[in-house]
Structure 1
Amino acid sequence: MDDATARAQLESMLAELDRSIMVLRGDPVAVGDRSAADAGSDLTDADRAQAMIDVATRQRTAVVEALKRLDAGVYGECVDCGKPVPEGRLAARPEAARCVQCQSERERRR
């Protein structure tokens, strides 16, 4: 993937993630005269929204790091072993920092 295409995709992803995070962080709805069951439902919704914010924030960090690698001229190189990240992986996940083998090893260690 050429640098211009990668940058466009990453910047688009970053803008979309920023919009999603802003929507998810929207002002909480006032509980008012709701029943305990409704309040419990709101808590569950808030927990779900927070989980989605956490995922989006982690993905946003990965996109920002990918843009930094692009600026440094090392985009597309595995951050662990230095080998090229396959084009197909970058096409599917432009923010990918590792080759498939290193990513698999990292996930196994978790």
Structure 2
Amino acid sequence: MDATSARQRLEQMLAELDRSIGVLRGDPVAVRERSAADSGSDLSDADRAQAMLTVATAHRRAVLDALKRLDEGDYGRCVDCATPVPEGRLEARPEAARCVQCQGKRERRR
């Protein structure tokens, strides 16, 4: 994925995550935007909302880290082994920081 496309996708993801985080936190502007766009059920379960907020915040951090790697010229290289991250992986997950092998090792350690 070229740098321009990666930056556009990452910035779009960041904007979407910021809106989602705003809704989950109860930001009145974000809630109004959500209400206008989606008349789905309210987030009434505080535990579920907190879990979703935690995931969205972690995903936001990954997107910001990817933008930083892009700015530093390290985007597309695994942060653990420095090998190129496969193009298909970056297409599917533009924020991916690791190659499939290193990501698998990281997940097995958890």
> What is aligned with 1:53?
53
Separation in 2 of the partners of 1:58 and 1:2? 24
Consecutive unaligned residues in structure 2, runs of 5 or more: 28-43
1:23 partner SS: helix
Amino acid at match of 1:103: Q
Show CA shifts across 1:42-77 (max 9, x none). 5xx011000000000000000000000000001000
CA RMSD of aligned residues (A): 0.8
> What is aligned with 1:34?
none
Runs of 4+ in 1 over 2 A off after TM superposition: none
- The higher radius of gyration belongs to 1
Separation in 2 of the partners of 1:47 and 1:78? 34
TM-score, scaled relative to structure 2: 0.84
1:81 partner SS: coil
Consecutive unaligned residues in structure 1, runs of 5 or more: 28-41
> What is aligned with 1:99?
99
Amino acid at match of 1:85: V
> What is aligned with 2:66?
66
Separation in 2 of the partners of 1:107 and 1:10? 23
Identity of aligned residues (%): 76
> What is aligned with 1:26?
26
TM-score, scaled relative to structure 1: 0.84
1:68 partner SS: helix
- The alignment of Structure 1 onto Structure 2 pairs a total of residues equal to 94
